[in-house]
């Protein structure tokens, strides 16, 4: 896997943030140095990790070139990772970026001087394929796509692949889909159906470790802890740990 990986799906609530922050915490336990970038104006990752703390510097300031990325980095002891937090101001940034030169590669340029300090930089994207997410894609070589089988749509995957194709032809940047993460599943039969649909339509790999639906995941967010600390033996906690190993391989 390359140094920067984005967690992407324009569908909301499919566990992008949950998998991103927990995989990050698992990798950190393996001794890897991880930077997580919260690129969502909802700031769900920032809140899951730090609660209601406010930050002087955020990814907004990096994207508007007010500061260098390293000035926005904060450390989370409990997750064992560095984070560039988000804030609600980010919801207005697309208008600001849209008039800038090289507007699709502003994040990439912003991260250029910090990325080599880390084994991996993880970008948690918002549920959109707008300019902010395009910036994440241009900064990344790899993406992973979390999906929930209970409300899975092939059309949604097609839209992501179409965006990747447009970025390749329009901007000359090739992105590798590392795999699909099956998350929040309740019924294994539905999972098998989704995997069959994916296999017969595309050649995207699906990670073998599926994350079951568990209320404990929500509780861990409220306690601002990774699953590996909050409930490591819970089936969702175990699955996240195994997924992190599988993704690293």
Ligand X SMILES: Nc1ncnc2c1ncn2[C@@H]1O[C@H](COP(=O)(O)OP(=O)(O)OP(=O)(O)O)[C@@H](O)[C@H]1O
Residues forming contacts to Mg ion in the complex (CB under 5 A) are 16-17, 44
Pinpoint the alpha helices (H) of 56-211: 59-63, 93-98, 106-111, 131-139, 154-171, 188-201
- For residues 34 and 217, which CB has a smaller minimum distance to ligand X in the complex? 217
Measure the CA–CA gap between 122 and 50, rounded to whole angstroms: 17
What residues does 183 pair with on adjacent strands? Answer: 211
Among 47, 108, 173, 184, binds ligand X (CB under 6 A): 184
Residue partners of 167: CB distance under 8 A and separation at least 6: 134, 137, 138, 173, 175
Examine residue 213 and tell whether it contacts ligand X (CB under 6 A).
yes
CB of 184 to ligand X, least distance (A): 4
**What is the maximum span of the chain, computed from C-alpha positions, in angstroms?**
50
Q: Which of Mg ion, ligand X, none does residue 214 bind to, with CB < 5 to 8 Å depending on kind?
A: ligand X
Measure the CA–CA gap between 6 and 144, rounded to whole angstroms: 6
- For residues 8 and 97, which CB has a smaller minimum distance to ligand X in the complex? 8
- For residues 63 and 217, which CB has a smaller minimum distance to ligand X in the complex? 217
Residue 17 three-state SS: helix
Examine residue 13 and tell whether it contacts ligand X (CB under 6 A).
yes
Examine residue 222 and tell whether it contacts ligand X (CB under 6 A).
no
Residue, CB closest to Mg ion: 17
The contact set with ligand X (CB under 6 A) reads: 12-18, 40, 42, 44, 126-127, 183-184, 211, 213-214, 217-218, 221, 236
């Amino acid at each position: 896997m390359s140094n920067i990986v984005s967690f992407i799906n324009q569908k909301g609530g499919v566990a992008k943030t949950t998998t991103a922050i927990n995989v990050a915490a698992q990798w950190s336990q393996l001794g890897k140095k991880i930077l997580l970038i919260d690129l969502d104006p909802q700031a769900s990752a920032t809140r899951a990790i730090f609660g209601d703390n406010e930050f002087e510097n955020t990814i907004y300031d990096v994207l508007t070139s007010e500061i260098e990325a390293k000035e926005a980095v904060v450390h989370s002891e409990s997750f064992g990772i560095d984070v560039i937090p988000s804030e609600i101001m980010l919801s207005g940034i697309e208008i600001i970026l849209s008039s800038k030169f090289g507007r699709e590669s502003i994040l990439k340029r912003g991260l250029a001087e910090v990325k080599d300090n880390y084994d991996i930089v993880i970008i948690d994207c918002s549920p959109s394929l707008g300019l902010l997410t395009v910036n994440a894609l241009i900064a990344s070589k790899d993406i992973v796509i979390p999906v929930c089988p209970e409300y899975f749509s092939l059309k949604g995957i097609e839209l992501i692949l179409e965006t990747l194709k447009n970025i390749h032809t329009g901007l000359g940047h090739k992105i590798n889909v590392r795999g699909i993460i099956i998350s929040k599943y309740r019924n294994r039969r539905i999972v098998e159906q989704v995997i069959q649909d994916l296999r017969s339509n595309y050649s995207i790999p699906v990670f073998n470790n599926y994350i079951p639906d568990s209320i404990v995941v929500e509780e861990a967010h409220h306690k601002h802890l990774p699953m590996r600390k909050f409930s490591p033996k819970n089936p969702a906690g175990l699955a996240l740990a195994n997924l992190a190993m599988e993704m690293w391989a």
